[in-house]
Amino acid sequence: MELRFFLIEYGVVTGIKKNESSTVIRWDTPDERDTEDWCRIWGSFVVAGGRIVDQDYQFKYINDDGSLKYKV
């Protein structure tokens, strides 16, 4: 028997560029440093079942631009 767990994560593509090929994702977490550079792996995201959420999706911790909703 094989068990598979899928973690559903939400985030936004930011305008941050660590290099010319950067695609920096700001994850929907309370940690304002929670970013990840998906340099050249956007296609892998789509192949793995990743999708773009509806523009009306409400993030829990971040605004649409990746900034925190509430600073502690």
Q: Comparing C-alpha atoms, which of 4, 3, 2 is closest to residue 48?
A: 4
Label residue 3 by pLDDT band (50, 70, 90): low
Q: Comparing C-alpha atoms, which of 47, 53, 4, 5 is closest to residue 25?
A: 53
The string of pLDDT tens digits covering residues 22-56 is 788 899 999 988 988 877 776 777 787 777 888 88
Residues forming a β-bridge with 36: 25
What is the per-residue pLDDT for 5?
Answer: 57
Residues forming a β-bridge with 37: 24
Q: Is the pTM of this model over 0.75?
A: no
